[in-house]
Amino acid sequence: MAEVQSIKNRFGIIGNSPALNYAIQVAMQVSSTDLSVLIVGESGVGKESFSQIIHALSARKHNPFIAVNCGAIPEGTIDSELFGHEKGSFTGAVDFRKGYFETVSGGTIFLDEIGEMPIGTQARLLRVLETGEFIRVGSSKVQKTDVRVIAATNKDLYDATQNGKFRQDLYYRLSTVPIRVPSLRDRKEDISLLFRKFVVDFAERYKTTPVQLDDEAKNMLINYSWPGNVRELKNIAEQLSVLSTNQTITANDLQKFLPEKNINRLPVLAHAQQQNSEFNNEREILYKLFFDMKKDVTELKKMFLEILKNPALANNAANYTAESLQRDYAVNGNDYNTAPVLATAQTAALPVNLQQANQPVILPHKDEIHAHEEVEESLNIMDKEKELIIKALKKHRGKRKDAALDLGISERTLYRKLKEYDINE
C-alpha cells in the first residue's frame, strides 16, 4: 500500500477509493512487461496518467513516450501520422516523413480514444502489434519497429465490435491487460479531497485565499453526477476560486456553477422540486388506480362467468362466506344470526343468516350464458381514437379547430383522421 501511495504522490493522483487503488496496482504489475494494455474509463478520469505510470515503471522509461489522440486526427491523414509517408504519395506530401511508430521505436506510444480510429488504420495497427512491421503511405518497403502500445477509450469497444465499428481481432489483441479507471461518481469519498487540492492550487496561482464549502454545499458537490469527472471538478474549482465573492461557498453559490440539466439529479435539491413533482406523482397514482380498477372489474366479470357456467361454485362461495362471517362474529362476542346488515358495497349483497346463505342460487338457463361471455371491452387504439374524435366534435358542435385543440392535435391532423376513420360531421 505504501508503494501505491508513493506512485500517487509521484504522478499527482488524489484519492483513496478501492477501485482507484486497484487500477494503480494493475498498472504497476503490468509495467515490467511488454504486454499491450487497454485503459477503459469515462472522459476526464485521467487515463493518460495511467499510461505514464506504466511507461515510467517499465524498462523503456529512458526511451521516448508519445500520446496520440486518435479522435483529433482527420481520417485522411492518420495513417501518415502513425506510419509516415513517402514524398509525393498524396497531394501535399512534398517531402518524406517518419511516423510516430518509427520515431518512438524502443519507447511507448499511447493511443487515446482508440475507438475513433478508422477501420483501415485498425488493420495496419493490428499488423504492428502482431509482427512489429508497418509500411509507410506510398511505399512498398516493410519497416520494423519496437513500440509498446497502450490504448485508451471511453467507449464500450466490445459493443463496437458487434456493430462492425471496431475490429474484433484488434480488440482482443489490445485488451491483453485491461485497466478500468473508476468515474468520479463511483469514488465519492475522493471528491472533497480533490476539490480541496484544486482550490489550494488555484489560490496559490491567483494569489487569493482558498475558498471553502459549507456542509450543504459539500453535500451537493458529493451528490452531483460529474459527467465530466475530474476534469469537470477541476474547472468548477477554478471558477469558484476566480469568480466567487465569498470565501465560504453555500449551496446556492455552488448551484450557479453547475449545469442545470444535471442539477435535477441532486438529492439535496429534491425538496425544491417538490411542487413540480407532486402533480406527476398524483397523475401516476391516478393512472395506477384506473388500471387496478379495470383489472378488478375484469376479474369480477370472469368470476361471474365462471359462476354462470358452474352453479356449484355459487353454493360453495356462499357457504364459505357464511362460515367466515360466523367465525368473525364469534371471535368478537357477537351473535351472527342477529347481526345487522352492513351498509357497505362489499357486504350489502351478503346473506343475513346461515339459513339464507344455504339457499340455492337461481341462475339463468345455460342458453343465456352466451350473452355474458364478452368480459373484455375493446382495447383497440384506433377504436378509442375514433371515439374520442367523435366526442370532441359533438362537444364543440362540429367546430374542427376547437375539437383539435381539445384533442391536442393540429387541425390538419384532425382532418386526416376524419377521412381515415370515415367520420361524418
Model confidence over 238-274: pLDDT tens digits? 999 999 888 899 999 999 898 876 554 454 444 444 4
Residue 347 pLDDT: 43
pLDDT digits (tens, 9 = 90+) for 5-15: 999 999 999 99
Which pLDDT value is given to residue 304?
72
**Domain ranges in the chain?**
2-182, 186-269, 288-372, 381-420
Which 8-state DSSP code applies to residue 267?
G
Average pLDDT over residues 130-151: 94
CA angle 244, 248, 254 (to 5 degrees): 55
Nearest to 47 by CA among 195, 228, 179: 179
Note the pLDDT of residue 147: 96
Average pLDDT score, the chain: 81
Which pLDDT value is given to residue 293? 73
d(CA 339, CA 151): 82
From residue 100, how far is each of 84, 172, 273, 302, 343 by CA, in Å? Answer: 7, 23, 53, 76, 89
∠ CA 165-167-172, nearest 5°, is 130
Distance CA 321, CA 324 (A): 5
Residue type for position 24: I
**Whole-angstrom distance, CA of residue 83 vs CA of residue 100:** 6
**164-173, 243-252, 396-405, range with the lowest pLDDT:** 396-405
CATH topology classification for 381-420:
Arc Repressor Mutant, subunit A (1.10.10)
pLDDT at 291 over 90: no
Sheet with 177-180, side-by-side order of all strands: 65-69, 108-112, 148-153, 37-40, 177-180
CA–CA separation, 401 vs 407, rounded Å? 10
Cα–Cα distance between 12 and 9 in angstroms, integer? Answer: 5
Residue 300 has a pLDDT of 75
Instruction: Tell which wins on pLDDT, 224 or 2.
Output: 224
What is the Cα–Cα distance from 263 to 190, expressed in whole angstroms? 20
SS3 state of residue 173: helix
The pLDDT value recorded for residue 404 is 83
Task: Write the pLDDT tens digit of every residue in 319-378.
Answer: 555 555 555 555 555 554 544 444 344 444 444 443 444 455 454 554 444 444 444 555
DSSP string, 355-373: HHHTSPPP---GGGGGGG-
Torsion of the alpha carbons at 240, 242, 247 and 249, rounded to the nearest 10: -10
Q: What is the pLDDT of residue 405?
A: 83
CA distance 313 to 302: 13
Phi and psi torsions of 38, nearest 5°: -115, 115
Query: Would the pLDDT of 312 be above 70?
Result: no
| Backbone region of residue 333 per phi and psi (left: phi > 0; alpha: psi in -120 to 50; beta: other values) | left
How much is the pLDDT for 330?
57
pLDDT of 290: 63
Local structure of 180: helix, strand or coil = strand
What amino acid is encoded at 305 in this protein? L
Q: Which CATH superfamily hosts domain 2-182?
A: P-loop containing nucleotide triphosphate hydrolases (3.40.50.300)
Cβ–Cβ < 8 Å for 153, 114: yes
Q: Are 33 and 57 in contact (CB under 8 A)?
A: no
Quote the pLDDT of residue 114. Answer: 95
Question: Mean pLDDT throughout 155-168?
Answer: 92
Mean pLDDT of 118-128: 94
Q: How far is 140 from 90, CA to CA, in rounded Å?
A: 15
Give me the mean pLDDT over the 122-151 stretch.
94
Q: How many CA atoms does the CB half-sphere of 287 hold within 13 Å?
A: 6
The CATH number for 186-269, chosen from 1.10.8.60, 1.20.950.20, 1.20.58.340, 3.40.50.300, is 1.10.8.60
**pLDDT score of 51 more than 60:** yes
Task: Quote the pLDDT of residue 87.
Answer: 86
Model pLDDT, residue 67: 95
Q: What is the pLDDT of residue 374?
A: 47
313 vs 62, higher pLDDT: 62
